[in-house]
Structure formats: C-alpha cells, structure tokens
Amino acid sequence: MSHWLIAGASRGIGLELARQIAQRGERVTASVRSEAGRAALMDALAPAGGRGRILVFDTRDEAQIYGAAAQVEEPVDVLIANAGAYGPQRQSTLDTDFEGVLDLVNVNTLGPLRIVQAFLPLLRGGERPRIILMSSVLGSMALEGTFNVGYRVSKAGLNKIAQCLAEDLKPEGIAVVSMHPGWVRTDMGGPNATIGVEESAAGVIRIADGLTLAGTKRYLDYRGAEIDW
C-alpha cells in the first residue's frame, strides 16, 4: 500500500486523484488552500478514513509548503504536483499582462519545484519513489499554435525542470515524469473538453503505478503515449 502526496486537490483532476486513491484503500495526503477546498477533499477522502490527511498551502508560498511538509511523518512513495492555473486574460505575444504571467510562472513552473524540494526528504524514504509533475501538451516545443503563450511558457519551463530533476534524482533512485492529463472537463479545461476527470485520473494513477527508474525523464500523456518535448 503506497502513500501518495497530491498537491492541489480541492477540485478538478487533483480532487479525483485523491478520491480514486482513497477508494483503493491507499494512504493519501493531499493539499488545498481554502475552506471550500477542504470540504470537497474531506468528502473525497472519506473512504480512506483515518488514513487521509489534508495539508494547506499555496504553491507560491515556500514557508507554507515547508510547514506542511513538517506535519508529515511517514515516507512518501508517489508525489503528484498537480496544482496549476491557466493565467490572465491577456497572455499573447502581442498583448501581455506581465504581472499576471509572472504569477503564472510562479504557480505552474516554480510551485512544483518548491513542492518537490520540501517533500524530498520524505520521498527519499519512500518505496520506489516517483514524482509526477502535472504539465500540459501545450508546454511542448514541438506543438504549433500561439494561443495562451503565458501558459505554454509556464509548462515548457516545468518540462525543463522535469528533465533536470529526473537527471539529478536518478542516482537516488527517484523517477520523475512530466504528465499531460488529457483535455479534461474541469474549471480549467471547460465543458467542451474531450474526457472527464475519472478517465484522466485513472490514467495518471495507472502510469504512477507502473513507473520505475527505467521510465524516468519522460513526457507522457494520461494513456502512456510519449510526447515530443
């Protein structure tokens, strides 16, 4: 039975990840940053009974993240840095809300790195430790298209962090992958997205289950298909 750490589990894909893992009877520690988020997550963790734990932090706040990590005693086997945002209205190359995009990079690119660093001591004690960084296919350098440049930049940066972390953590036996969860019907993905949270989360969990050091440093979608960095 693994211990999963899911950052950003108040709604959307993260909430469904917490729900499915709790339903499997595994241990889940998951984070929110509001009371509304806590209530939703408590429902999702109900099947886990006493094995579910809720942490509170904003991924932009290093002190909050370290404070949360200090509350966790048992080793973490799987860390999923899922929290993310879509950013400001104005984020094209020709019309940019610079403060808004800077904040987006703080959340989407640096946030996951803060989380990994804070929880690394717990991962080091984990069984077959794995890190999944929730990216997007929009972060791929190979993908054409120019809409939502700020979001693309933030996820492209996260992909680079995934590659570097994978390299740096390989000697310690910790696997790292960058994940595209699909185009998912959530607040972020919108109602026209092609898959529901159930299918996306089930795919992410399947990949986490099967991930070994041999599969580190990959950019995968929720079905396991490899994406061109």
Ligand X SMILES: NC(=O)c1ccc[n+]([C@@H]2O[C@H](COP(=O)([O-])OP(=O)(O)OC[C@H]3O[C@@H](n4cnc5c(N)ncnc54)[C@H](OP(=O)(O)O)[C@@H]3O)[C@@H](O)[C@H]2O)c1
Residues 152-191, one symbol each (x = binds ligand X by CB under 6 A, - = not), give ----------------------------xx-xx-xxxx--
Reading the block at residue 136, the tokens are: 């997007």
Q: Which is nearer to ligand X, 14 or 129 (CB)?
A: 14
**Does residue 105 bind ligand X (CB under 6 A)?**
no
Q: What's the N-to-C CA distance of the chain in angstroms? A: 32
Residues 34-73, one symbol each (x = binds ligand X by CB under 6 A, - = not), give x--x--------------------xxx-------------
Reading the block at residue 114, the tokens are: 């803060």
| DSSP one-letter string for 120-164 | HHHHHTSSS-EEEEE--GGG-TT----SSHHHHHHHHHHHHHHHH
Q: Which is nearer to ligand X, 172 or 224 (CB)?
A: 224
Q: Which is nearer to ligand X, 100 or 173 (CB)?
A: 100
What residues contact 152, with CB distance under 8 A and at least 6 apart? 138, 139
Of 205, 189, 204, 215, whose CA–CA distance to 12 is shortest?
189
Strands across the sheet with 130-134, in order?
52-56, 27-32, 3-7, 78-81, 130-134, 175-180, 218-221
Interface with ligand X (CB under 6 A), residue total 28
**Does residue 139 bind ligand X (CB under 6 A)?**
no
Find the binder of ligand X among 29, 64, 109, 136 (CB under 6 A): 136
In the complex, minimum distance from the CB of residue 44 to ligand X, in angstroms, rounded to a whole number = 11
In the complex, minimum distance from the CB of residue 137 to ligand X, in angstroms, rounded to a whole number = 7
Q: Which is nearer to ligand X, 193 or 213 (CB)?
A: 193
**Does residue 8 bind ligand X (CB under 6 A)?**
yes
Of 76, 63, 66, whose CA–CA distance to 29 is shortest?
76
Find the binder of ligand X among 11, 19, 152, 217 (CB under 6 A): 11
The residue written with tokens 């969990």 in the block is 205
Q: Which is nearer to ligand X, 125 or 190 (CB)?
A: 190
Asked whether 90 and 100 are in contact (CB, 8 A), the reply is: yes
The residue ranges that bind ligand X (CB under 6 A) are 8, 10-14, 33-34, 37, 58-60, 82-85, 107, 134, 136, 180-181, 183-184, 186-189, 193
